[in-house]
């Protein structure tokens, strides 16, 4: 039987080294002592030589990580609600965001638009800029609340009455005729046409209405909050939904591994559904 003597081979830092040793010696009983020429201590598992794993590091720093996560979550929520409820006007697929009092602007790949508006007691002055071209409008409001006159660049362009239709106003001239563009705009083809200057009905609605649109659709907040509540309850109380479903049917017992796997998959589905609601609330109008 051969043995290997390792005198003085392990040193601090686990560095590789070599040491000349004498030829094999004969011990009592006829055993040889074989001494190695080159031995690397890396083959030995020395406690403390390797860094901690990621789960261990996260466990030791749980409280700081939770604090950082809470701050990031609060920041993202603030940015989300700021974008969701940002006031302005939707015009032909372009959101004119309010920059300051009476000034709204926005753009997309088709055009850049700017609306400036100043209201007075019985009239309103509007200026609309589309791709660098500006038109100025003056809207006179009648004392009866229906009659109106609209001037475009100093020239009388419309004289008639405005009939409220919900959040919209339909303009009819003195002969009772109205412009179809005030009701609907229809285009045919795969490409959406570039926006045109707003109709007189749109201008009148902006002039007399105090209500602004929002960039997002707050209606999606309800399913978003419902999904978030389900996810929070499932994480905080892992057996809650299991007991709701089977609590009256069994006496004791624990969920199976198959149920736990389905629970994890369900959490992933809930997160994806929440992300869909976030995107839908910002980009579906």
Q: What is the pLDDT of residues 140-181, one digit of tens each?
A: 988 887 888 999 998 998 888 888 887 788 888 777 776 665
d(CA 138, CA 126): 6
Residue-wise pLDDT for 201-248, tens only, equals: 889 989 888 888 899 999 999 999 999 999 999 999 998 888 888 777
For the chain, give the DSSP string.
Answer: --EEE-TT---TT---EE---PPPEEPTTS-EEEE-SEE-GGGS--TTSSPPPHHHHHHHTHHHHHHHHHHHHHHHHHHHHHHHT-EEEEETTEEEEEEETTEEEEE-SS-EEEEEEEE-SSEEEEEEEETTEEEEEEEEEPTTSSEEEEEETTEEEEEEEEEEETTEEEEEETTS-B-GGGT-----SSSPPPP-PPPHHHHHHHHH----EESS-GGGHHHHHHHHHHHHHHHHSTTHHHHHHHTTT-SS----HHHHHHHHHHHHHHHHHHHHHHHHHHH--
The two structure tokens encoding residue 16: 């590789």
Q: Is the per-residue pLDDT at 188 higher than 50?
A: no
> Tell me: the pLDDT tens digits for 12-36?
444 444 445 454 444 445 444 444 4
Query: How many angstroms separate the CA atoms of 125 and 146, rounded?
Result: 18
- In our burial notation (b when 16+ CB lie closer than 10 A, e otherwise), range 230-244 reads bbeebeeeeeebbee
Judge if pTM exceeds 0.95. Answer: no
Quote the radius of gyration of the chain (alpha carbons, Å): 38
Q: What pLDDT, in 10s, does the model give residues 72-113?
A: 989 999 999 999 999 999 988 899 999 988 899 999 888 999
């Amino acid at each position: 039987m051969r043995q290997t003597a390792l005198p003085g081979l392990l040193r601090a830092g686990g560095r590789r080294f070599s040491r000349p040793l004498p030829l094999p010696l004969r011990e009592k009983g006829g055993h040889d002592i074989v001494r190695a020429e080159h031995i690397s201590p890396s083959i030995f598992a020395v406690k403390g030589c390797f860094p901690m794993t990621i789960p261990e590091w996260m466990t030791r720093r749980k409280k700081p990580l939770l604090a950082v996560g809470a701050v990031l979550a609060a920041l993202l929520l603030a940015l989300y609600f700021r974008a969701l409820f940002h006031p302005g006007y939707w015009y032909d697929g372009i959101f004119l965001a309010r920059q300051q009092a009476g000034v709204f602007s926005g753009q997309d790949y088709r055009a850049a638009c700017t609306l400036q508006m100043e209201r007075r007691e019985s009239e309103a002055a509007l200026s609309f800029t589309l791709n660098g071209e500006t038109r100025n409008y003056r809207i006179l409001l009648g004392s009866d609340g229906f009659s109106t006159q609209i001037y475009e660049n100093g020239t009388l362009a419309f004289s008639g009455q405005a009939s409220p239709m919900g959040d919209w106003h339909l303009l009819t001239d003195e002969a009772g005729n109205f412009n179809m563009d005030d009701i609907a705009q229809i285009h045919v083809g795969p490409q959406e046409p570039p926006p045109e200057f707003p109709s007189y009905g749109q201008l009148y609605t902006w002039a007399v209405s105090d209500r602004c649109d929002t960039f997002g659709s707050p209606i999606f907040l309800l399913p978003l909050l419902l999904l978030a509540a389900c996810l929070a309850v499932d994480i905080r109380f892992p057996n809650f939904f299991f007991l709701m479903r089977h609590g009256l049917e069994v006496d004791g017992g624990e969920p199976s591994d198959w149920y736990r796997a389905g629970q994890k998959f369900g959490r992933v589905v809930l997160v994806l559904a929440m992300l869909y609601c976030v995107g839908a609330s910002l980009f579906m109008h």
